[in-house]
Amino acid sequence: MPQIHNRIALFRAERGMSRRELAETVGVNPQTIGYLERGDYSPSLELGMKIAQAFDLPVELVFSFTPFESVAAALRRAAE
Amino acid sequence: MSKFNERLFAKLDAASERTGIPALARHEVRRRHLRWIPIFALALAIGGWIWGLARPDATQLGYAAISAGFALGVFLPIFGPIKAWGTPGADEFDRQLRQRAFLAGFATVAFTAFLGLWLTLALTLIGNWSRDVLIGQIANFAYMLFVLYLTVPTLYASWTTQPADED
């Protein structure tokens, strides 16, 4: 099964949201958010969509089959 | 109530909390990754079974070792990382982990049962065991398989996942 990469930790930090708060919003345990952020677990479609909805973003901005560009690289590219 | 009694009851309450039983009654058990206890329980159970096979005249010691493994094993589903069917608060990760862990557990039990039955049959023929000895061996073997069923899912779940912080 291909690994699903995500930017949950990034968006959570941006919004100043704890794992517990996000977990309560999407209806899972806080540890499950930890497993998702570490890449130890690939979420179901339902959970993936709930997380994207919690961040008010399209699901493809939160999850991807290919690794996401780092924030530093994205900023560098934007500055050019 | 006197100060002495207040302090005494507070200490007794704290001591009872430390046993974990009140938390168990309140369904607030803190589940942990138990990596070494299942190995110890398995070593006792498998060692006891092998002892019984090697010394068919003294299977009681093997039975005692399997019982010790069983005594440890019964606590694993309560305190280990696998949440029981229908546990309130179990999410999709918990369900998937339980599914994978029990698949590993059942596969181990099935494989061991297959090997154990043929081994018992072979040793019965080689050692010319009596009916009573054979019944004792089969009882030991069934007991050991039950310890496998109790311990392997927790062992699998504890070694394939790393604890994740809540915050």
- Cβ within 8 Å of A, B 65-104: 89, 91-94, 96
B165 found inside a domain: no
B15 and B38 inside one domain: no
pLDDT band with cut points at 50, 70 and 90 for residue B137: very high
pLDDT band with cut points at 50, 70 and 90 for residue B87: confident
Q: Which of B166, B128, B63 is nearest to A35 (CA)?
A: B166
Q: What is the pLDDT of residues A17-69, one digit of tens each?
A: 999 999 999 999 999 999 999 989 999 999 999 999 999 999 999 999 998 88
B133 found inside a domain: yes
Q: What is the pLDDT of residues A61-78, one digit of tens each?
A: 999 999 888 888 888 988
B84 and B146 inside one domain: yes
pTM over 0.90: no
Q: Which of A40-44, B25-29, B70-74 has the lowest mean pLDDT?
A: B25-29
Interface mutation vs chain A, best among B91, B95, B97, B99, most A CBs within 10 Å: B91
B75 and B149 inside one domain: yes
Count: domains in chain A: 1
Nearest-Cα distance to chain A for B166, in Å, is 5
Domain range for A64 is: 5-79
Top-confidence residue, B146 or B85: B146
Mean pLDDT, residues B103-123 taken together: 96
Q: pLDDT averaged over chain B?
A: 91
B105 and B23 inside one domain: no
pLDDT band with cut points at 50, 70 and 90 for residue B121: very high
B45 found inside a domain: yes
- Is some CB atom of chain B closer than 8 A to the CB atom of A43? yes
CA-based Rg of chain A, rounded to a whole angstrom? Answer: 13
> B115-145 b/e with 16+ CB inside 10 Å = b?
ebeeebeebbeeeebeeebbebbeebbebbb
- pLDDT of the residue at A72: 87
ipTM: 0.84
B53 and B24 inside one domain: no
Residue B166: list chain A partners with CB under 8 A. 19-20, 30-31, 34
- pLDDT of the residue at B128: 93
Domain range for B26 is: 1-30
Does the pLDDT at position B123 exceed 80? yes
Decide if B93 and A35 are in contact by the 8 Å CB cutoff: yes
Does the pLDDT at position B90 exceed 80? yes
Q: How many CB pairs under 8 A join A and B?
A: 44
CATH number for position A62: 1.10.260.40
Q: Which of A12-26, B119-133, B153-167 has the lowest mean pLDDT?
A: B153-167
- pLDDT of the residue at A3: 82
CB B147 within 8 A of CB B74: no
- pLDDT of the residue at A9: 93
Residue B96: list chain A partners with CB under 8 A. 41
The size of chain A, in residues, is: 80
- Through-space distance between the first and last CA atoms of chain A, rounded to whole angstroms: 37
Nearest CA in chain A to B94: A32
CB A32 within 8 A of CB B91: yes
Count: domains in chain B: 2
B122 and B84 inside one domain: yes
B101 and B55 inside one domain: yes
B152 and B124 inside one domain: yes
B153 and B84 inside one domain: yes
